[in-house]
Structure 1
Amino acid sequence: MKTLEEQLTTYARYHRSKRNIMTHFVGIPLIVFAALCLLARTELSVGALALNGAHLAVVLCVIYYLRLSLSLGVIMAVILFVMTVAATPVAALSVSGWLGASLSLFFLGWVIQFVGHYFEGRKPAFVDDLAGLIIGPLFVLVEALFLLGYYPSLADYIEQHAGPVQP
């Protein structure tokens, strides 16, 4: 398994335009939320415990994030938990309401992503490496934390290996 630094650097090489990164602050959360809305409708029972597909997806993603970084994994766990709680009422809508809301958010998120990649002049990272689909949300988190002054050594590492962010 690649390290946190390797995963983020690989992803960052496709995201050196500030405009592209900014579109990801909106597009990726929309896509993740929409996916959780879609998965939350799938019911799973484990004994007396009632789960749904969103719970399972979040647990698997959080395990992966925790293996990369304990602190970032915990932050991602909190964010994904809140998103899953917010997805539950959407999943409880009528089939047309649930699908309409979820697919609209999913489509809008991807449109915003592709606009960002138009600015970047590069294809999305997941086209070359499907791991980009799970690293994208973590990348958005670390970019937000970098803007707040956190994880400066990680920011420096990524910039040294992927290049500086362009205006």
Structure 2
Amino acid sequence: MKTLIDHLAQYGAYHRDPRNIATHFFGVPMIVLGVTTLLSLPSLQVGPMPVTLALLVALASSIFYFKLDMRFGLVMSIILGASLAVGQWIATQSLDVWLGSGFGLFIVGWAIQFLGHYYEGKKPAFVDDLVGLLIGPLFLVAEAAFAFRMRQDVQAAIEARVGPVRLRGTLAT
């Protein structure tokens, strides 16, 4: 199994332009919430908790993240839990609201992603490796940690493999 550094470096190779990374901070959460919303129906009531495909995907994803890194796994589980709560709430609204919100978030989120990759001049990472769809949200958590000077060992290991974040031809400041 690839390590945290392996996954983040591979994903990071497609994301070295700070404008692309910035668009991902909007697009990726929208996509995650859109998918969570759409997968929140149908639901099967098991005791007090509705069991949905969204819940099963979030649990499987959380296990994957925890196997890569306990600290990032905890943050990702909290984020996925919040997304599940919001997605489930949206799913309890009318059919129009559920579908409109789910598909709207998903489509607009991807439009923002593709704008970022226009700046980058590279295709999205998932085109070459579908695991990139799982790594995208984790990459943002890592980038946020790096911005707060946390997990600098991880940042250094990634940059040793793919170089620093930079505007085309220059170092980003």
TM-score after normalising by structure 2: 0.93
SS in 2 for 1:97: helix
Residues 100-157 of structure 1: per-residue CA shift (max 9 Å, x gap):
1110111000000000000000000000000100000000110011001110010011
Deviation, 1:50, is 3.0
Task: Tell me which residue corresponds to 1:111.
Answer: 111
For 2:89, the aligned partner's letter is P
State the match for 2:133 in structure 1.
133
Deviation at 1:93, TM superposition (A): 1.6
Q: Which residue of the partner structure matches residue 171 of structure 2?
A: none
| Distance across 2 between alignment mates of 1:72 and 1:100 | 31
Question: What amino acid sits opposite 1:157 in the alignment?
Answer: A
TM-score, normalising length from structure 1? 0.96
Equivalent in the alignment of 2:40: 40
Deviation at 1:27, TM superposition (A): 0.4
Amino acid at match of 2:107: F
Alignment partner of 1:8 is 2:8: yes
CA shift in 2, pair 1:79/1:160, >3 Å = same
Contact 1:146 1:155 in 2 (8 A): yes
Instruction: Please give the alpha-carbon distance, in whole angstroms, between the structure 1 residues aligned to 2:5 and 2:82.
Output: 26
Mapped partners of 1:49, 1:18: distance in 2? 41
CA RMSD of aligned residues (A): 1.2
Measure, in 2, the Cα distance between the counterparts of 1:46 and 1:65.
26
